[in-house]
Amino acid sequence: MAVGVMAVVLGPQLKDDMTIPGTPAQDTIDMLKEEFPEVGDAGAQMQIIVKAPEGKTLVDEDVKASLAELAEEVSAIDGVETVVTPDMLQNYNENQTIGFLMAIYDVTSSEFKLSQADELRETFDITEDAGIQTELYSSETEIYNTQPSDMSSEVIGVIVAVVILFFTFGSLILAGMPVITAVIGLLIGLCGVMIVSNYATVAFVCITLAAMLGLAVGIDYGLFIISRFRQEYAKGYSIQQSIAIANGTAGTAVVFAGITVIIALLALAVPQIPFLTMMGISAALT
């Protein structure tokens, strides 16, 4: 209850910051911000990732001409202040087949609209018609509709699980127990994730992953204990004795399995990718 109250008081602060420190692209972005602070303060920054056609490089004259045409078209978009080409940034990969243009807007990341991202993508026909693979990316600005899920799929999954368990056990109470315990554990875990989101960067996808694993593992482990209880009760033990035996055997196995899963999820922190680390922590909390 205390966790729920804290989650309500603090409220969720979910974000979509998915930076990957140490990668060449991120290092280039960080260096650009350091060397050209006026660019970093100018507004929302869109990276247009380009990959040269098979057998060519981005420094080939015909490819550079297509990129220049793309840069000119992007510059004409309302709200775009500056466009920086790969040739200016020298951000090519080792084979000079991949690089990116940067479009800088006159609005901040929080003011940037999804419709502006769609308008920017419409210019990609210029390079794609020339065989240049073109993608849009931004480490700080939302460019896709990533609103939190309404969790309708999870609700449907719970209903299906209850129906299957009801026909398996022939009892609504036994069918509902593993689901109820899983949902209670999930709600407590999600409240914990919402609290953590006030002090660390937690992406929307963390909630989806946590809900998926929390429900699946919670129902599975609850079903394991109940199945063991039914086995012992069928042998002639009393209800109290069957519960004790189930907790002492299947319950112990569930604790060990749960700890193993938590360790595996926390191991997502090993690559030192922030959003991947938070996905593991969020799932471990449920």
Do 166 and 120 belong to one domain? no
Do 77 and 191 belong to one domain? no
**Domain finish residue from 102, 137, 172:** 137
Res 207: pLDDT: 85
Confidence check: pLDDT of 201 > 90: no
Range of the domain at 169: 152-285
- Residue 77 banded pLDDT, cuts 50, 70, 90: very high
Chain segment 113-158, per-residue pLDDT in tens? 888 889 999 999 999 999 999 999 887 777 776 555 556 777 888 8
Question: Nearest-5° angle of CA 79, CA 121, CA 275?
Answer: 95
Chain segment 20-75, per-residue pLDDT in tens? 777 676 777 677 667 666 555 557 889 999 999 999 999 999 999 999 999 999 99
List the one residue out of 112, 103, 109 whose CA is nearest residue 82.
103
Burial class (CB in 10 A: 0-12, 13-18, 19+), 1: exposed
List the one residue out of 63, 62, 53, 51 whose CA is nearest residue 100.
51
**What kind and span of H or E run contains 266?**
helix 239-266
Domain contains 1: no
Chain segment 248-276, per-residue pLDDT in tens? 999 999 999 999 999 999 998 898 888 88
How many independent structural domains does the chain possess?
Answer: 2
Do 163 and 110 belong to one domain? no
CA–CA distance from 148 to each of 71, 99, 104, 159 (Å)? 34, 32, 27, 21
Packing angle of the helix pair 152-169, 172-196 (nearest 10 deg): 150
Do 190 and 264 belong to one domain? yes
CATH number at residue 47: 3.30.70.100
